[in-house]
Amino acid sequence: MTDEQFAPWKADAEAHYAQSVARTGAPAEAAAAEAAETYANLLPDGAETPGNHLWYAYDGERRVGFLWLKLTGTTAFVYNVAVEQDQRRQGYGRAIMEAGERWSRDNGATTIGLHVFAHNHGARNLYEQLGYVETGRKMAKAL
């Protein structure tokens, strides 16, 4: 991902993250603040933040999605992966994840992790098909 691509990507990704946080029951304003703080903390130097790798995925000339992962020692972590809305259910998500796994393994990772929101059933299903297993569960109750 180029520097010119980073700013619009970040704006879209941050907005999508805020929507996901809001779907957990957080007020929209609080969700937006959490998303802004999260992205500021995780990518303080933008696309040049050490250990972070951001890629767009293409099928020929057509951009079909993106992947953001961080490599720390022998651990890779997928912070964000998405397929363009009109390109979903065509195998691109699987291909992007598998490419990220290969890259991580080729660069010394022995494990890879991710977080998925409970409401994202499609992503959860894909990750389970790829062999990811649940390692914890965060729960909440509206009062």
pLDDT of residue 52: 97
**Residue 140 clears pLDDT 80, i.e. is over it:** no
CATH code of the region 51-133 = 3.40.630.30
What is the structure's pLDDT at 143? 78
d(CA 23, CA 8): 23
Report the sign of the C-alpha dihedral through residues 40, 45, 50, 51, in that order: positive
Rounded mean pLDDT, 22-37: 94
Average pLDDT over residues 45-53: 95
Over residues 73-91, mean pLDDT: 93
H helices of the chain, in order, are 3-23, 28-42, 92-106, 121-129
What pLDDT score was predicted for residue 137?
A: 83
Output the pLDDT for position 2.
85
Confidence of residue 78 (pLDDT cuts 50, 70, 90): very high
Amino acid 139: pLDDT:
77
Interatomic CA distance for residues 109 and 55, integer angstroms = 18
Which pLDDT score, from 0 to 100, does residue 72 have? 96
